[in-house]
Structures are given as structure tokens and as C-alpha cells.
Structure 1
Amino acid sequence: MIGTKVKNNGSSAGILAQVATRAQVSQGTVSRVFNNSELIPPKTRVRVLSAARELGFRPRVGVRNKQIALVTEPPQNTVMGGYVNTLTQYICFALSRCNAGVTMITEDRISALAESWFDGVIGIAWQEETIELLKELNLPVVWFCDDQAGRFHTVYSDACETGRFVGNYLIGKGHRKIAVIHQVDYTGCNRLAGVRQAMREAGIDPERMLLDLTDAGSLHLAVKQLIDAGCTAVWVPGEDMNAIKVGWLIQELAGKRIPEDISLLGSENPGISEFQRPALSTVAAPLREMAELAVEIVMKDEHAVLQKIEMPVRLIERNSVANLE
């Protein structure tokens, strides 16, 4: 049998007929699309697959491996050893252990997602166009940020709690004037809010003592501003190399010492952070565990009841944060 309906068991002919009627093509065309024939034009393939999803059909998994789409940002935006790169590797490894096929689709060619058949999607992406397309698919989708918790399964680290954790750590080290160079998105703003909350809880006025900087502009200017403001510590969260760039600017251009003059805390880039000078103290998300959970969820093929799983971060303390107490 070529296909199956999620809720009702229908005959192969009945399935083909329903999909063909909805897509306004012949049953033979539907059959060829389901069997990945290269003879079908892309627009026709999209129309047939869309009709099948709308009707709740999918090719029978019993005669093939599950096919999972891994949606991620374009390679020019990723960093070797960074969040996206590391998480991608863990996801691919976990899928291979399940004998599942994986197709990587970058956000700059997201339309390809509708041109092939997939049993589920794992998304490490942020663009609104990507989110809107995924919302239209009748598929289990796992996301790594809780901003889409009402739409997709989510495996995430709470950004606000992470910021609060960092704020408490730096305050515990005696820092009062703190800068945060954050991303201008949902996660970045919530991280900043968490630091602000920690400062209030410690009796420190964040309006005077917290310097809010973003990575949308020049990092050179951000470093100058935090030095001029007399900050003793700066946290550079995010999933790229910004913390390492900031460290270089502080030491090489501004002539300041880390951590003697300014303490620096970043996000973990495995295989990179520990080899900085000084070795960079970081906040690390449990990426391997998050990847394995995402694969476990998407392989269950369940999207009626959404799962929301929070994963705590941990501190990797090295040599870039001074104790002022």
C-alpha cells in the first residue's frame, strides 16, 4: 500500500483518489509523487504533497525509513563550534542511530520544504517566513525556543532564567556595574530581563548599574561604551563568536586586561572557548541532550499534544571572570 491516513485506514486506491481530486491531478501523478519520481514538475509535486498533508495522509512508514527535515540558518551565518553547528551535529548523529533519513534545508531555500515528503521537522531557525511555512504543515515540528511553544514542540533553555542565573553569578563575584551585549530578538531581550531581575532582587538599581547594549551595531562602539561607563563585567550571550570578538577588542584595541580590568562571560563554543587567552568562562546549554530529546519527540510522530521541555543551563567557570569580593 502506498499510503495511509493518520486517522482512518483507507485503501490505496481510495487514498490516491482523494489526494488526486484535491490536487486536481491524476491518480498516476499522485502515485509517482509518493514514489519520488523525478518526472513530476516541482509545482505539481508541491500541490500533491500539500493536498496529502491537508487530508492527513503520508506515505506508509512501514516500507521505508522516516524522513526528517532539519531546518537551519544558511551556512554563512553559522560558526564552527557554535550553537547551531554543534546542535546540528548532535541532531544528525541522533537521527542516524534511529535509521532515519535527514535532509538539511537552510532558511534561504525554505520553499524546498514543501517540495518533498517529510515525516517531521526539527528547526534551528528564526525567520518569520520559516515559522509561517511550518505552521501550515500537518507535521510534528520541534523548535528550540519557547516563543513558539503554542505552535510546535519546544525543547529550550529559558532565556529569562538564564539571565537571572548569570546576574546572580556576577553579583556573587562582587560585580555591580554590569554590561550585557545581547541580540535584539526574543531570546536576547529575555536574557537581559533576567539580569535586570537578578539585580533588583539583590537591591541593585538596574536603571543605573546595568548597561544595555546590542550586537546590532558596532562591537567597537559597544566596548568603548562599557569601558567609559566603568563596567567591571560584561556578558555577551548568543550563539556566535561575539564574546571572543569582544574579548579581543577589550585587550588588543582598548589595552585592558581580562579579568583584572574587565570580566568577560560568554556562551560556550565547544573546542573554542577554552582555548582563548584567558580561557573564557561561559554559560552552556545541554546541546547533546536537547538534540536527543528533539529527535525522540519528532520520531514519535505526535503533534496533537505539544510538548514543552525546559533544559537548564550550566556555568563553565574558567579564567575570564574576576572575584571582586
Structure 2
Amino acid sequence: MKDKVPGGQAQPGQAKSVGLKQVAAHVGLSVAAVSRVLNESPAARSIPEKTQKRIQEAARLLNYRPNVLARSLRNKRTHTLGVMVPEVSDGYATLVLAGIEEALLRHGYFYFLVSHHRRKELLDEYQHLLVARAVEGIIVVDTVLHEKPSTPTIAVSGNHIRDGVTSVVVNHESAALMALEHLRALGHERIAFIKGQRFSSDTQARWDGIRHAARALKLTIKPSLVAQLEGDQPNHEPGYIATRALLETQEPFTALFCFNDTAAIGAVLAIREAGLRVPEDVSVIGFDDVESAAFQNPGLTTVRQPLREMGMLAAETILKQLEAGRESRIDPSAHIEQLVVEPKLIVRASTAPARNLVK
């Protein structure tokens, strides 16, 4: 005998989904009350939490599946966001996206993901395409916007963005202080640096943090020991090239602080090819704590940027803003320009006490 649910015959191996009327009949409540709960209407707040849980449990039991199209037309909502990233690759963007996705799934939202590869024409076109697809808001990740958004927008690492956009950023000064204090405690005074690409929204903020931290610690930053990542490859090559350039100056240094982990991994290879050891000859420290950082040889000391949490915070924030807007509770004077998250130093095997100067 096949299982049956109110509303129709079950198909072989699959229970037939039901509508709001069947769920309402099952719990003995009005269709309007059940609709408010299952469609996450603001009016559902007036329904006791115990009753809401009973409705949700009945919906699961009866295999209720909402008609998303009908709900969108009825509520003039799509429950969809747009997410814009430079590229999808192992590391930074992947972790941020994981946090965004987790938060959106929890709230019943979908998202369109686009990769603009830092091409202005794609970035501008995608903004318009996402709006044309009726997204309710947009989350941009490490992305420079060339025009003011026409829809609610949240930026992850949007240090340059203003015009009513809330940015989720890491405390760069605190991050730099952690890294430089760690290196100085190990006896490193001659420290080399690799700055980020000029197009990255984090580059200037992170470099400002390093300069302020160095000043506070009375550490000298020598211009000849500062390199910059060039090119737009999302791989280890830019870090490898920048490190080779530093080594070719023959300016001695015992530690290298890299813009991100991807660059740091490339730096380790360049140092080894020069006949030097990490960390015995040169200590290397990265930034981000991507998932592969712990599995490098040696394990990479890095400043952990809570990327997954930043993605979740961005998603939660834009959903709250959308809800406030629907309830006409937006107060322009209460706009938060930045949400700052704190970093954490993760010490692994790529840093050690200073020994010989690099010649």
C-alpha cells in the first residue's frame, strides 16, 4: 500500500506535495495564518512561536512545497539576491560564498552568482542584468563599483564604497599589528612586504594598517623591501614573481609579510628556488587563512580573516535591510557605513626566530 497525503494520490516512490489548504486543515487553522508563517510574512510575528512550529512541522510532514512563482507575483518579491565576485577560485571568494549561501538558504533565498573578472564592461552589464532579473538586492565581494547601485547593496571588503552601501570589512590595523608583533617577538627587524594588486579593494586599507602598525612598533619599512602584486591571475604566480623581485635586489631581510595566502604560497616557492629555507632563512606570513594554508609545507602562519563569517554577516545584513524597507522602517540617518570584524593570528610552521640575514 502506498502512503497517501491529503490532496491526492501518491506517486510511486514519491509523496505528492500539498497546498496551503491541506496544511491548514491538518493543523486546524485558517489558510491566512498558515500562509503568513510559511511565507515568512512580517504579520507572522503575531502568531505564537509554538503555533508557528506546529505549522512548520505539519508542512514538512505533508511535503508542502511553496509555489515560488505564485508567491513572488502575490508579494512582489522574488526571494533572490545577486552576488558579484571577481572570480570563483580556491581561497578568498569560495569561503565568502560559503557564508553567504548558508545564510540565504536558512532564510529561503536563492542567488545568482556572476564573475566579472574585474572587467568594467562586465561589471556594469552584470549590475543591470541582475536588476533586470528582479533580484531584491546585491552582495559584491572585493569588487569596485563604478556607479551607484540602483538596488540595496552590501559589500564584503568594500573599503572604497560609500553612497549608502554598508561594507563588511576586517580590522586591517589590528591585523597588521598582530602580524608585526609576532615577527618582532621572533627577532625580525628587517621585514619585506608584498602589497596587493592596485585593483583590490583591500590593498590600500591593508597597507595603511601596516604602516600605522609599523610606526607604533617603531619598525622601519624600507621602500626597497616593498613589492607589489601585478597581474590579475587568481593563483600563486604574482606572489612568486614579486618575491623573486625582492630577492634580486639583494637587500637583506629575514621575514616576508604577504598581502594574502595565495601570494605567500608563491613566495615560499621563490625563496626555495633561491636556495633558501622557510622558515630557517626567511619567515613567511600570509593573510586570510584559506583552507589550504594549514596543509602547505611548512604550514602557513597567517592572519585569519573570518571570511565565512563575513559572508554570513553580509547576507544577514542585507536581508534585515530589505525587511526594514518593506515595513517602511528605514531611517537614512541610521545607516551603518561599515561593519568591522576582528582578525586572529594563526601561528604555524612558516615563521621562526630570526637567524641569518638574506644576502
Is 2:253 the partner of 1:231? yes
**Any idea what the Cα deviations from partners look like across 1:123-177, whole Å, max 9, x if unmatched?**
1142344xx1xx2414243443232145301111033432233222222221111
**Any idea what the Cα deviations from partners look like across 1:12-54, whole Å, max 9, x if unmatched?**
xxxxxxxxxxxxxxxxxxxxxxx98xxxxxxxxxxxxxxxxxx
**Structure 1's 66 and 176: CA in aligned 2 closer, same or farther, altered over 3 A?**
same
* Contact persistence 1:199–1:205 (CA under 8 A): yes
Distance 1:104 1:195 in 2: 33
* Contact persistence 2:193–2:227 (CA under 8 A): yes
2:351 to 313, 321, 325: 321
What percentage of residue pairs aligned between the two structures are identical? 24
Provide structure 1 residue ranges, at least 5 long, that are not aligned to the other structure. 1-34, 37-58
Distance 1:297 1:140 in 2: 10
Is 2:335 the partner of 1:306? yes
More divergent stretch after superposition (313-322 vs 153-162): 153-162
Distance 2:142 2:217 in 1: 35
1:175 paired residue number? 188
2:298 paired residue number? 278
Q: CA RMSD in A?
A: 2.8
Is 2:99 the partner of 1:90? yes
2:206 to 168, 182, 191: 191
* Contact persistence 1:167–1:196 (CA under 8 A): no
1:295 paired residue number? 315
Is 2:227 the partner of 1:213? yes
* Contact persistence 1:105–1:113 (CA under 8 A): no
**Any idea what the Cα deviations from partners look like across 1:159-215, whole Å, max 9, x if unmatched?**
34322332222222211111111113352233223222223223333347x721101
- Give 1:266 deviation, angstroms: 0.9
Secondary structure (helix, strand or coil) at the match of 1:181 reads strand
**Structure 1's 194 and 173: CA in aligned 2 closer, same or farther, altered over 3 A?**
farther
Provide structure 2 residue ranges, at least 5 long, that are not aligned to the other structure. 1-67, 117-121, 232-237, 325-329
* Contact persistence 2:256–2:282 (CA under 8 A): yes
* Contact persistence 1:250–1:256 (CA under 8 A): yes
Secondary structure (helix, strand or coil) at the match of 2:225 reads strand
1:246 to 254, 263, 267: 267
TM value normalised by structure 2: 0.65
* Contact persistence 1:163–1:194 (CA under 8 A): yes
- Give 1:254 deviation, angstroms: 0.7
Aligned residues: 259
Secondary structure (helix, strand or coil) at the match of 1:87 reads helix
Residue type at the aligned position of 1:318: R
Residue type at the aligned position of 2:309: E
- Give 1:275 deviation, angstroms: 1.1
- Give 1:316 deviation, angstroms: 0.9
* Contact persistence 2:83–2:114 (CA under 8 A): yes
Is 2:167 the partner of 1:154? yes
Is 2:134 the partner of 1:117? yes
Distance 2:129 2:78 in 1: 20
**Structure 1's 141 and 280: CA in aligned 2 closer, same or farther, altered over 3 A?**
closer
* Contact persistence 1:180–1:192 (CA under 8 A): no
* Contact persistence 1:71–1:106 (CA under 8 A): yes
TM value normalised by structure 1: 0.71
Distance 1:315 1:225 in 2: 27
- Give 1:298 deviation, angstroms: 0.9
**Any idea what the Cα deviations from partners look like across 1:225-266, whole Å, max 9, x if unmatched?**
43321110001123x622111111111x11110000000011
Distance 2:141 2:183 in 1: 29
Residue type at the aligned position of 1:95: L
* Contact persistence 1:159–1:188 (CA under 8 A): no
Secondary structure (helix, strand or coil) at the match of 1:147 reads coil
